[in-house]
Structure 1
Amino acid sequence: MHGHRRAYVVAGEGPVLLLLHGLGCDHTTWAPVVQALARTHTVIAPDLLGHGASAKPRADYSVGGYANGMRDLLTVLGVDKVTVVGHSFGGGVAMQFAYQYPERTERLVLVASGGLGPEVTPFIRAITTPGFHQAIGAVTLPGVRHAVVGTLRLLGQVPTSHTRDLGEIAAILDTFRDPRARAAVRHVVRHVVDWQGQVVTMADRAYLTEAMPMLVVWGTEDRVIPASHAANAAVLAPRARVELVPDAGHFPHKDHPERFVAILQEFVATTRPATYSRARWRRYLTQGPAASVAQAEAGSRPVRPTPLPRGPRAVRAARGA
């Protein structure tokens, strides 16, 4: 598209789930859940521009640019509407997609998402500093890279909350051996993070999510973006469902894939797809957050973040079904 290679996988049949990966990852981050989700849905998992097997040009790496790219990919594939699921940076892209293209968004699912608070791991903030590109280039030289990546993977196998995500960080670091991938990630991060933390936020537009079902999933032991941001989501979007997954880090869909699939399938099965109304969207934009908050308070009771019991039946029980 637009002269650049775009890689993606498609699996299954049924209503469409668009799965968007996080920074430095690719579509394989969803591998533990794709097969189960594809039994009831069409699953589309792209490699975002600058990641995986997609091209890594000098291009627009803003969240808006990524949202445009997802619109174009869906158009090429002949898909009109999706439930968009975004992990980490992909959550920011998912929010932007829902904001820019509400007529094409049925539901919004955020998994350990960016855009819900300033805090973020120092490693990501470091990407914005001068000299990072050169420093990582040195770290990813063949001998050094093997030692560093191997050490991180070994530490990632230590069963503590502080080391849980080190294996995933090792995989991301391994991709940085490609200077084009390093440059792309640097451009991405500079759009959304500075030395103080995240600068892109959904806070000023969260009220617009009242127009569509929204689910937030977070691991209680996330050390990349703190789980407290799930509580931020509950405040910003009072009608959103919030699920905290115990004994999970920044990748709850990989730490507990069966539990993640149960949460997502239950959410889709018990919510109606959003229907776009230009008049309603105009009313939201004109009246601002106060009107939607009042509507939320008059509507259904907000769902509080609670640890998820095991199994689909326990999920339904937690909902009071």
Structure 2
Amino acid sequence: MSDQRHEVQYLTIHGHRRAFVRVGEGPALLLLHGLGCDHTTWDPVIDALARRYTVIAPDLLGHGRSAKPRADYSLGGYANGMRDLLTMLGIDKVTVVGHSFGGGVAMQFAYQFPERTERMLLVASGGLGPEVSPGIRAITTPGFHQLMGLLTLPGIRHAGVLGLHALAASGLKPARDLGEVAHIYDSFKDPNARHAIRHVVRAVVDWRGQIVTMADRAYLTEAMPMAVVWGRDDAVIPVRHASNAAALAPKARVEVIPNAGHFPHKDHPERFVKIVHDFIRSTQPATYSRARWRRLLKDGQVGPIGPLAPVPDIDTA
């Protein structure tokens, strides 16, 4: 797998610059990164996926090289932005792959635009349970912006980034994802990025954990192939949320990767690419039917959703 950087392209949509990478040919894959990350989180897998697919990997608004305006950072706003980006690129339908917060965007995209979604693959995704790491909840607290302003002063930030990278290289399982954390921490030197991330998190997380859930709409996955991938050692969003996905969407394929953290596509890129390819090769793309969607809405989940019942552990073989 290659970790090389890819050419970044730009489009202006609704007055805001959107950065993205487009490589390869074939059926379209839309790769959506997580909170505080950017398209480079997919670098270990982009080249391999591009041998079979047209890969679109954007920097979501407020992230990476995309603009960071005072704007709509809701899941619905992000889904609309992805629709408009794909429209400008002349791409009608995609298999959408979302990691962490990007998984929430992927679910919202599939819900809002089923006619443009062929499949959905969620990677350590938000929206499958309330639990989330204390670090993410802390972003919602008063004073976060000011504190990060101090912690990202040049000398402090440099020492912090070096320390996180050193811990990530230690081989300790709890520290495996700290290289990505260092990248996110470094990005917070931009006050506009801090503002954007705070707005993003407040839209989906409060002091009790995740607010947004797919539980009330999971029955709609009957109309669309769905797969879920998780790292067994995820310290950001618990791996048991993969079992929640299996309970909410019994037809979904669920795979938990041993010896992987919150970024299984980076920990085991070859295996991840194989999972994506096997999922696409063995499923038929969803075809949108307004009548079927209406029937699902009328006959689907009725009433409030209670706590999820316990389900057996997902096989990690």
Aligned match of 2:164 in 152, 164, 183?
A: 152
Report the alpha carbon displacement of residue 160 of structure 1 after superposing the two structures with TM.
2.1
Report the alpha carbon displacement of residue 149 of structure 1 after superposing the two structures with TM.
1.1
- Residue in 2 aligned with 1:97? 109
**What code does the residue aligned with 1:36 have?**
A
- Residue in 2 aligned with 1:184? 196
- Residue in 1 aligned with 2:145? 133
Report the alpha carbon displacement of residue 35 of structure 1 after superposing the two structures with TM.
0.3
Q: Distance in 2 between matches of 1:304 and 1:8?
A: 37
Q: Distance in 2 between matches of 1:63 and 1:226?
A: 21
Compared CA separation, residues 242 and 304, structure 1 to 2 (3 A): farther
**What code does the residue aligned with 2:289 have?**
S
Report the alpha carbon displacement of residue 161 of structure 1 after superposing the two structures with TM.
1.9
RMSD: 1.1
- Residue in 2 aligned with 1:229? 241
- 8 Å CA contact 2:103–2:125 kept in 1: the answer is yes
Q: Distance in 1 between matches of 2:171 and 2:44?
A: 20
Aligned match of 1:111 in 102, 117, 123?
A: 123
SS of corresponding position for 2:203: helix
Aligned match of 2:314 in 305, 309, 320?
A: 305
2:275 aligned with 1:254, yes or no?
no
Moved more, 123-132 or 156-165: 156-165
- Residue in 2 aligned with 1:38? 50
Report the alpha carbon displacement of residue 166 of structure 1 after superposing the two structures with TM.
1.1
Q: Distance in 2 between matches of 1:151 and 1:2?
A: 40
Q: Distance in 1 between matches of 2:315 and 2:91?
A: 34
Q: Distance in 1 between matches of 2:275 and 2:316?
A: 12
- 8 Å CA contact 2:70–2:196 kept in 1: the answer is yes
Task: State the identity %.
Answer: 73
Report the alpha carbon displacement of residue 289 of structure 1 after superposing the two structures with TM.
2.6
SS of corresponding position for 2:254: strand
- 8 Å CA contact 1:63–1:93 kept in 2: the answer is yes
Aligned residues: 296
Q: Distance in 2 between matches of 1:248 and 1:255?
A: 6
Report the alpha carbon displacement of residue 153 of structure 1 after superposing the two structures with TM.
1.0
**What code does the residue aligned with 1:35 have?**
D
- 8 Å CA contact 1:242–1:304 kept in 2: the answer is no
**What code does the residue aligned with 2:215 have?**
A
- Residue in 2 aligned with 1:174? 186
Aligned match of 1:66 in 75, 78, 84?
A: 78
Q: Distance in 2 between matches of 1:306 and 1:179?
A: 43
Q: Distance in 2 between matches of 1:68 and 1:11?
A: 22
- 1:67-124 deviation per Cα after TM superposition (whole angstroms, max 9, x unaligned): 0000000000000000000000000000000000000000000000000000000000
Q: Distance in 2 between matches of 1:43 and 1:245?
A: 23
Please report the TM-score for the alignment, with normalisation by the length of structure 2. Answer: 0.92
- Residue in 2 aligned with 1:316? none
- 8 Å CA contact 1:23–1:90 kept in 2: the answer is yes
Please report the TM-score for the alignment, with normalisation by the length of structure 1. Answer: 0.91
- Residue in 2 aligned with 1:314? none
**What code does the residue aligned with 2:315 have?**
T
SS of corresponding position for 2:76: helix
Structure 2's unaligned 5+ residue stretches are 1-12, 303-311
SS of corresponding position for 2:198: helix
- Residue in 2 aligned with 1:162? 174
Which aligned runs of 4 or more in structure 1 are off by greater than 6 angstroms?
A: none
- 8 Å CA contact 2:240–2:313 kept in 1: the answer is no
Q: Distance in 1 between matches of 2:53 and 2:315?
A: 27
- Residue in 2 aligned with 1:5? 17
Q: Distance in 2 between matches of 1:106 and 1:129?
A: 38
Structure 1's unaligned 5+ residue stretches are 291-302, 309-321
- 1:211-261 deviation per Cα after TM superposition (whole angstroms, max 9, x unaligned): 000000000000000100000000000000000011000000000000000
Aligned match of 1:79 in 71, 79, 91?
A: 91
- 1:13-53 deviation per Cα after TM superposition (whole angstroms, max 9, x unaligned): 00000000000000000000000000000000000000011
Report the alpha carbon displacement of residue 152 of structure 1 after superposing the two structures with TM.
1.0
Q: Distance in 1 between matches of 2:314 and 2:295?
A: 30
**What code does the residue aligned with 1:183 have?**
H
- 1:291-318 deviation per Cα after TM superposition (whole angstroms, max 9, x unaligned): xxxxxxxxxxxx983224xxxxxxxxxx
Q: Distance in 2 between matches of 1:155 and 1:39?
A: 34
